[in-house]
């Protein structure tokens, strides 16, 4: 009879340990999602900083020339795409 009681206690302990591990995994997943959200917030803040910097500094400061050039090229491609979209809408 003691063997059954020990077996029951072992099963109970394993179940409790499994529940604890599942809770830890759930918390870990939530924390990872929170970190992803915070990284997205950082990207938005950096983008806003960049937009303000460029607006306040229309002439690229030394060391920023290539980045400004990339922005200009991206703007040119966006304009070309928008023009093509308008052409397609008119057809």
pLDDT confidence tier of residue 91, bands split at 50, 70 and 90: confident
Under a CB-based contact definition with an 8 Å cutoff, are residues 49 and 35 in contact?
Answer: no
Q: Among candidates 53, 85, 87, which has minimal Cα distance to 68?
A: 53
Rounded CA separation 6/12 (Å)? 10
Q: What is the mean pLDDT of residues 7-24?
A: 72
7, pLDDT greater than 70: no
pTM assigned to the model: 0.62
pLDDT confidence tier of residue 13, bands split at 50, 70 and 90: confident
Q: What is the mean pLDDT of residues 59-87?
A: 97
| DSSP assignment string, 24-65 | HHHHHHHHHHHHHHHHHHHHHHHHHHHHHHHHH-SSPPTT-H
Q: What is the mean pLDDT of residues 61-88?
A: 97
Rounded CA separation 1/36 (Å)? 53
């Amino acid at each position: 009879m003691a063997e059954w009681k020990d077996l029951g206690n072992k099963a109970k302990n394993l179940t409790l340990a499994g529940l604890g591990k599942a809770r830890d995994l759930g918390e870990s997943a939530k924390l990872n999602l929170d970190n992803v959200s915070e990284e997205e917030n950082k990207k938005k803040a950096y983008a806003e900083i960049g937009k303000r910097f460029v607006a306040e500094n229309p002439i690229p400061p030394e060391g920023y020339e290539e980045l400004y050039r990339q922005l200009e090229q991206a703007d040119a491609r966006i304009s070309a795409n928008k023009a093509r979209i308008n052409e397609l809408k008119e057809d």
